[in-house]
A and B are shown apart, each in its own frame.
Chain A
Amino acid sequence: MTEAAVLALDRVGVEWPGAASGAERYVAVEDVSLSVARGEFLSVVGPTGCGKSTLLNVAAGLLAPTSGAVLSFDEPLAGLNRRAGYLFQADALMPWRNARENVEAGLVFAGVERAQARERAEEWLRRVGLSGFGDRYPHQLSGGMRKRVALAQVLILEPQILLMDEPFAALDVQTRQLMENELLHLWSAERRSVVFITHDLEEAISLSDRIVLLSAGPRTRPIGEFHIDLPRPRDVAEIRLTPRFVELHGRIWAALRAEVLKAYAVSQRLG
């Protein structure tokens, strides 16, 4: 590889201490190597509970791996990943700040002058289609609008890489497709790298350049990699009807199916 990867996981493993002392340690993730190139949209797909979020937290520097290393532009990561923006699955807006104050938060933390921060926040609110909603508090916004604010909040800092943990999972189907198109639109303008975590294969195919499949947990590891050569720009609703999409879906699903069944069997046993 000629260019330094924006983010690389090098044989990362994560273990949790067992519930009882002396109990076996739970190995959530084992020996995972991944790398994301500049401007690449990578989706990580795996069955529910396979440690996808764990991997993302490792990439963000929120969680230190038990073994292996995280590299950001070929440098080992120490502490939080300052080049990354993180979009969480759950609501992560500060409820005591209105939309504009939430969007400008990162700039204020960095010491940007208030007036300038405010101006840029307004600009970002406009870009995510929320101009005029700056004075609303999170509880006064719909789920989709809150996601837009969260997106603006992260993107205003112009991160080199965007980490997204099933960000649209809680939205209804229509809002979700709108947000996915919105995301593609914003992404194509700036071409930042994205790591998108999801358990929804269709979402992954319609958004990504590349998909990495993870096995069912415990001891999650990558079990397959697929390049998505669908043409861009894409419309997530329309692209699902193209023959190439159906073909890719069939191939990837064949690989994923066994893991989903395995995860289901485990959850049945535990339940």
Chain B
Amino acid sequence: MRSASGSDKSAARPRRRAPLVAYRVLLIVAVFLAWHVLTATGVLPSFFFGRPLVVLARVWDWFSSGKIYPHLGVTLVETVLAFAIGTLFGVAAGLWLGLSPMAAVLLDPYIKAANAMPRVILAPIFAVWFGLGIASKVALGVTLVFFIVFFNVFQGVREVSPVVLASVRMLGATPRQLVRHVYLPSATSWVFSSLHTSVGMAFVGSVVGEYLGSAAGVGYLILQAEGTFDIDTVFAGILVLTAFALMLDLAVTRAERRLLTWHPRAPEDER
């Protein structure tokens, strides 16, 4: 009967959705129109605020000439690497500290300090250590992703239901099997609950890293344009980055849906 209520809901969705999408499109068109009118009439100086038509033309030019793809590729690779490495370290550290309270107590103040530190400030150090290539951006992204994943896994390990734990032990699980069949899946669900934030952070790490010094990437394009006061290109870069971030987020949502089928998602699923 629950599946019936579920299909009711999905049937109701498209009916309400069509006008909503139209309104959303209308809203963005209105914003661009207002921007255009304000800058074209000179109410806002186009030197500081750009001209939306030029911005859109620039975006179009980037994609039609294919000039943007290598830069997007670099940014994407940095983001994915930062996310993967940061998650890996985060899960490992979270599991370790979650399972050994002694280490957790010992390291607690340092972890808090490292998390409180504005880590973007590490970018110059990473640039010195790893050069202006991909590695320094990945390093920055890793420091951002690591703490999000780490705290989530740490929490996840500590909040494993004691009843489930006792039950699985009674079913004969060895300590290693406990980690594999209880702690890890439980921690994974916490990682996924933070997936949107951590992918977003990996992206921030790459773009900020590029912006602070690089030879490729969308952040580099923006940096270059800013150097020549080409505000239209800066806006074009921001637009592309935003669209890109949205697509990343969409991909994450897809992945989440596939990997977390066991998770009671909507309240309608719960008893």
Contact = CB atoms under 8 A, between A and B. Distances in A.
B110 interface: no
Nearest to B265: A139
Interface string A119-159: 00000000000000000011110110000001001100100
A46 B146 CA distance: 50
A94 to B, nearest CB: 6
Interface residues on B, range: 20 to 34
B163 A96 contact: no
Contacts of B164: 92-95
B167 interface: yes
A139 B171 contact: no
A157 B270 contact: no
Contact of A88 (B163, B185, B188, B189): B163
Contacts, number: 75
A93 B2 CA distance: 21
B262 A91 contact: no
A82 interface: yes
A183 to B, nearest CB: 18
B166 A139 contact: no
Interface of A, helix, strand, loop or mixed by DSSP: loop
Interface residues on A, range: 20 to 34
A96 B186 contact: yes
A139 B270 contact: yes
A110 B163 contact: no
Contacts of A92: 161, 163-164, 166-167
B185 A94 contact: yes
A206 to B, nearest CB: 26
B264 A84 contact: no
A84 B182 CA distance: 21
Nearest to B166: A62
B264 A85 contact: no
Contact of A109 (B172, B262, B263): B172
B65 interface: no
A60 interface: yes
Contact of A96 (B166, B173, B185): B185
A60 B168 CA distance: 13
A94 B170 contact: no
A84 B170 CA distance: 8
A87 to B, nearest CB: 9
A4 to B, nearest CB: 22
Nearest to A89: B163
Nearest to A163: B170
A32 B181 CA distance: 36
Contacts of A98: 262
A169 interface: no
Interface of A: 60, 62, 80, 82, 84-86, 88, 90-98, 105-106, 109-110, 137-140, 142-143, 150, 153-154, 157
Given A88-B163, A95-B262, A97-B185, 16 more contacts: A62-B170, A85-B170, A92-B161, A92-B164, A92-B166, A93-B167, A94-B168, A94-B185, A95-B164, A95-B263, A138-B262, A139-B262, A139-B263, A139-B264, A143-B271, A150-B167
Interface of B: 2, 161, 163-164, 166-174, 177, 181-182, 185-186, 188-189, 261-264, 269-271
Q: Give 7 nearest A-B pairs by CB, closest first.
A: A92-B167, A139-B264, A106-B171, A96-B185, A137-B262, A86-B170, A90-B163
